[in-house]
Amino acid sequence: MKTLRYVLCDVFTDRPLSGNQLAVFTDATGVAPEVMQALAREMGFSESVFVLRAERGGHARIRIFTPTAELPFAGHPTLGAAFVLGQPMQLEELRIETGAGVIPVRLEREGARVVFGRMAQPLPTSSAVEDVGEVLAALGVERSELPVERYDLGVQHLFVALPSREEVAALVPDFAALKRLGDVGVNVFSGDGLHYRNRMFAAGHAIEDAATGSAAGPLAVHLCRHGRLSYGDEIEIEQGAEIGRPSRLYACAHGATERLERVEVGGCAVTVAHGEFRALRSQDLLP
């Protein structure tokens, strides 16, 4: 029998029982991918992380699983894993190996305690959305204030801009129609200046996410590309209040529309529990 220890943390918040939930299995050496998938399904969070020995010069390698599939990259799992691993390592920067590349995460501390992290995300590519009418109909809105575009950084997100935060909060999408859009995050946002409110619907799974780090960076890029934000300005994004998990994310795009140089996303995380799985046979854990 092998014991697998895990840490539960809430990401993109500084308050327990808010933000986006995450399970971090701190040593997944020898765990087969199908067992990782089963454990992620057992945990039931939007994502679970499995920490492995680094292979490409980083400090650690992670594999990220939803309850149904593995992801090459996701924002809150990467940041949450950096908080969990960074606490004992006492490093200013962790380099986390993901399926979408090596993600550097800078950590800020108060004494020994990690209080904030900022990660440099994969640079997203953008493309036009052909089925805009289908997207708007699924959301139950008439139009978007900005062009509806798709961004890809290992996971895909598209963005719909509404006139007010109140309209974002009141949105009641047709989840069955959203599911027909496929494996894409549908983000609906509003705001001005440096303050925005966002809701993200995982179309393929027909669920709403509490805090979406992989969408925060592309949102900053989207605002810069369409003149709502200057490159180098950091925005604050509120998300998750509608599902009882208020979250706060920070995002900044550097460079220019013609040459995007760096996209950073930051936030807090708090550990809320520790646990372990014991009922696993050794033969279940062989790759």
Per DSSP bridges, beta strands 20-25 and 247-255 are: unpaired
SS3 of residue 73 by DSSP:
coil
Residues 231, 255 contacting (CB under 8 angstroms): yes
Cα–Cα–Cα angle for 216, 47, 5, rounded to 5 degrees: 130
Q: Could you give phi then psi for residue 93, rounded to 5 degrees? A: -140, 130
Give the HSE-up count for residue 244: Cα atoms under 13 Å, Cβ half-sphere.
1
Give the gyration radius of the chain's Cα atoms: 18
Partnered with residue 96 across adjacent β-strands are 60, 103
Which of 47, 97, 149, 264 is catalytic? The answer is: 47
CA dist 244 and 145 (Å) reads 27
Specify whether 47 is catalytic: yes
**Positions marked catalytic:** 47
